[in-house]
Each structure stands twice: as structure tokens, then as C-alpha cells.
Amino acid sequence: MKMMIVDDSLVIRRKIEREISLPALTAIVTARDGKEAIDVFKEHMPDLVTMDLTMPHMQGAECVKELVKIKPDTVILVISALADKATAIKAIKNGARGFLCKPFTETQLNDALTKLIDYSEEVKGS
Amino acid sequence: MLSESDLEVFIEGTKHYFSTSTDKDVQVETPYLVSTEEIVVNDFTGIIGISGERKGFVFVTAAKSMLRYLVLSLGEKEADPDLVRDVIGEVANTISGNARRSFGPGFMISVPLLVEGRPERIGLPKDLKGYVIPFRWNSFPFQLVVSLQ
């Protein structure tokens, strides 16, 4: 399983990469904004994506829509500081499968990703 | 202007950031009101512009020594200069974004603008007032400054 981390913060990209412990993961690629994410996505076609929302060049909400158009079964977890319910609901409507609010712990990150992968495998199996 | 409950949103947001991301809590000191021309910044400053239903800015300013320690506390083995520069923006972004839990989606935040060094002015609008909230994390002092209309 391939994963892409999209966040304009180097600290957050490295934190996610360092703290993920998913046995099924074989490769991780990263992008610094929505525009770069589309290029990296097309090149590597990851199965799993973590997506920030507030970024330069292309915001995460728009990027989620674009990624879902390219590969509808991509599992996207939005990881954002925008803590209001409306933002989380909008992210899900755009095609994300889950929402994790910053700041987050290692346990919260892995729990959120594990839930999404389990859900995705259930959907594929049914 | 900011109300006491508005200030509390940012104080709680700052406490939450440090208690979740590191193993040390912050101590809050007494906030005070200043004009933007009186604001003094530290080695690194992360500024978030606020638009939408509220207008203004939020920024966090801290010494390099604190940010190096913060980067290490986040799990990095070395406090690389790129990480030290980046982390102040991420702290400002997280505290401002979390404020939407109270202010709602009309509280629009920009991407962080990073200022390095201690310029006399950092381009803030004149004739505005802002609250300086002094904090202390792991004995390092830092400040959160909020100015909202």
C-alpha cells in the first residue's frame, strides 16, 4: 500500500511519516501543496492520502476533489487545524473518508488511519 | 474588539497545542493591550491573517532557543534550521485554526507568514490594538498576539 502526505509544514510531514506504524505500508511520498500533490499523485497513484486544508497554491478541499476524480477509491484522511464541524463535514462531502484535527498524538493518527483502511477493505470486499 | 471569552479561546488553544504535542504544559501570564506600533517580536514570528467575519491577525513570536527545543520535543533527532523556521508557523496555524471551534467557519485564516529576525516593524496595520498574551513553556518565554475587529 502506498501513501501520500500533503502538508505545507515540513514539521507535520515529518511527524506523520515518523509516527505512522501501518504494517501494510510499502512506500510514502510527500507534497507541499495541492498543486504539487496532484503531480505526485499522478506519478505514484497512492492508495492512502493525508491532506492538510490550508495551503498555498491550491487549498486542500479543492485538491481532495481532484484526487477523487483521478482515483475514486483513494482513501483520504484530512488532517487540519480547522476545528469547526462545518469544515469536517465539507471535507467528507468533497470525498475525504475521515477528519483528524491538529494537534494530534501518534495514537490518534494511527487509530484514524487504521479505521479508514479497515473501512476501505470492507468496501472492496463487499 | 476582543472580549474576555475571545482571549480565552486563544489561551485554551495554546495550552491544548503544547499539552498534546509535547510532554510539558504552558504557563499563562497576564495579557495586556498594546498598539501595533509598540509590538516587539522575537527571533522567529509566525503570522496568520484573519479575514471573513472577523478581521485582523494572530501571531506567535519566540526565541530560536525555544523553537530548537520544541522541534526536539516533537520527536526530531536534530533541530534543523528549516524545521526551526517552520515550527513557529505551524504553532500559529494550529492555534488560529482551532479557534474556529468557537468562532465558526466564517473565521478565515491565511497560510502562515514567517518573519525571521527582529525587525523594528513587521508590517502590521497601523492604528490597531492587539492583546499580547505572554506564555512560558519549559521555562522559555514566548508571546501570542491577537488583534481582531
Which chain A residues touch B101 with a CB distance below 8 Å? 83-84
User: In this complex, is the C-beta atom of B1 within 8 Å of any C-beta atom belonging to chain A?
Assistant: no
Flag the least confident range among A28-37, A90-99, B39-48, B122-131.
B122-131
Say which residue, B120 or B3, is predicted with more confidence. Answer: B3
77-96 in B: which are within 8 Å (CB) of A?
A: 82-83, 86-87, 89-90, 93-96
**A56/B111 touch (CB, cutoff 8 Å), yes or no:** yes
**B94/A8 touch (CB, cutoff 8 Å), yes or no:** no
Supply the mean pLDDT for chain B.
Answer: 93
Confidence of residue B42 (pLDDT cuts 50, 70, 90): very high
With 70 as the cut, is the pLDDT of residue B121 above it? no
Instruction: Answer yes or no: are the C-beta atoms of B95 and B102 closer than 8 Å.
Output: no
Confidence of residue B125 (pLDDT cuts 50, 70, 90): confident
User: In this complex, is the C-beta atom of B98 within 8 Å of any C-beta atom belonging to chain A?
Assistant: yes
Instruction: Answer yes or no: are the C-beta atoms of B59 and B81 closer than 8 Å.
Output: no
With 80 as the cut, is the pLDDT of residue A40 above it? yes
| A80 bridge partner residues | A101
Can you tell me the mean pLDDT for B81-95? 97
Confidence of residue A82 (pLDDT cuts 50, 70, 90): very high
Confidence of residue A15 (pLDDT cuts 50, 70, 90): very high
User: How far does A123 lie from chain B, in Å, by closest CA?
Assistant: 32
With 80 as the cut, is the pLDDT of residue B118 above it? no
Query: In sequence order, what E strands does chain A have?
Result: 2-6, 27-31, 48-51, 75-80, 98-101
Strands B32-35 and B113-116: unpaired
8-47 in B: which are within 8 Å (CB) of A?
A: 16-17, 20-21
Please count the other Cβ atoms lying within 10 Å of the Cβ belonging to residue B46.
26
With 70 as the cut, is the pLDDT of residue B140 above it? yes
- Three-state SS at B141: strand
CA dist B61 and B53 (Å) reads: 25
Q: Model pTM?
A: 0.94
